[in-house]
Amino acid sequence: MEPAQLSQAFAGARAMDYRGLSITMPHKVAALALVDEVDETARAIGCINTVVNQNGRLRGANVDGLGALGALRHAGADPTGRRVLMLGSGGAARALAITIGLFAKPAELTILGAIEDELARLARDVAERTGCKVAAEMLTDASLADGLAKAQILLHCTPVGMKPDSERSLVPRDRLHSDLVVFDAVYNHAGLCSSATQPQRVAG
């Protein structure tokens, strides 16, 4: 769907009384202006990926971060009070970082990214909107090694691992350690039924 068609799609959903919509890239930000209500988490994140029709009113939400947080807690890896390292500063990272900052309050959240202005904006938004302690650095071999050595939870939120980089990883296996839980937000055909998007504790 072209961005210009988005408002027509929402009008059609209203007219046909759809129960809900799933919003994907690149429409997550633009869709904010087309709903009647936005929940607290989505407003803090700045985009929506889910729309629910409640008696004719469209309510926007962002469930990416809540899904990730729920998976971590289900696996016994609640970020609350823990040292969390996040790789990436795009949409997935924003959803997870702000949700975790709002509802889990890690001891510290370190974000490593490759796009300087995007990284700085995310770190500022997380700190201002959640009160979470945030550090941001450019992703380099040195910052990655230092961050991994200190981290208890690693959140991978970059596109690396998806096509066309499906065989690549940002994290050398020898830098993982037995006290680290890894959550990979990457999904692809091979990963849908594997460990992708499932928290995994590194074997010692």
Q: Which residues are catalytic?
A: 28
Whether the CB-CB separation of 130 and 99 falls below 8 Å is answered with no
Measured CA to CA, the distance from residue 92 to residue 161 in angstroms comes to: 14
- State the DSSP H helix or E strand holding residue 129, giving kind and residue range, or none if neither: helix 116-130
Question: Are 66 and 49 spatial neighbours (Cβ–Cβ below 8 Å)?
Answer: no
Q: How far apart are CA 152 and CA 178, in angstroms?
A: 9
Tokens of 139: 């992703």
